Structure formats: C-alpha cells, structure tokens
Amino acid sequence: MRTLTRSVLALALMFAGAGFAQAPTQVALAEAALLDSDGAPAYVAASHYAAKFDPGLKSLRFMPLIGGDSIVPVPAQCEGAELANGVWYVGHGQDGELVLRAPSGTALAAGQVAEVAIGVCGAANADKTRFNVPASAWQFLATNVGALYVGR
C-alpha cells in the first residue's frame, strides 16, 4: 500500500509542474463566471433541478441532482397554453413575468409562439395564452429550474 501511495504522490508532483495545473488567472476567470451580477453564486450545488411536463399525464416531475423525484399533478381546472414537445427554457419576459422560451431546436406548430408566460392555476386565462401550473410548482420553476422538457 505504501508503494502505491508513494507512486501516486510522485506522479502528482511530477504533473503539478508539467503545465497541467491551471494558471491563477484561469482559475479567477472560472470562479468569476460562477457569480451573478451581485457577486452571489449563480450555481449552488444540489439546488438546481431538471423538470419535465407530461401532457398526457398532466403532471410536472421535478428531478433533483440528489434525492428523489417530486411529481406535481396539474389539475383539470388549470387549463392553459399547449406547449410543443421539446425543451423550453425558464426565464423572465420584458415585463419581469416568468416565461418559457422555446429554443430553435424545439419544433413549434404553425402560429405557435416561442415565448409563453407561466401562470398560476385559477388566474384568468380564457384565451389560454398562459401555461398554468399550481402555485407551488410556479414558485419552484421560478427559483430552481432552468429548463423544462415537454413530452412523454
């Protein structure tokens, strides 16, 4: 075991001086890229989730990096805009409201818009222009999710 440990240490010391270590400026740039405009971390480990909406099951599934999935059913009275299958980015519109944006890789139907506001169940949505979800799911999408996959 000592021989293995010594060999690993010798290799580590050899490679440390061989240009494999990052230069201090590269490390500083990488660390700065992980901060938002306020200097707060833009990424917090285990705080980001993948999310999936299954139109057939009418449910949202939140899948954390660590831990079990959470499934949130979307009630029938929560009717809203239909979303094309594919990836939608979660962001904020010009007026600050929470929206889903379809990237160019998401095939939209003729006349379907690439940006859909995310609303809360029970809010006025007679023209079905908003994608309505339960309030708890809306809050979770707003704070923890960067993209939503729509499909089975």
Q: Is the pLDDT reported for residue 30 higher than 70? A: no
CA distance 104 to 114: 9
CA distance 135 to 147: 18
Q: Using one digit for the tens of pLDDT, what is the confidence trace for 78-107?
A: 888 889 999 999 999 999 899 999 998 889
Q: Encoding tokens for residue 75?
A: 């009630």
Single pTM value for the model: 0.65
In the chain, domain spans: 2-33, 49-150
pLDDT at 40: 58
CA distance 110 to 119: 23
Where is pLDDT greater, at 120 or 41? Answer: 120
Q: Is the pLDDT reported for residue 76 higher than 70? A: yes
pLDDT at 41: 53
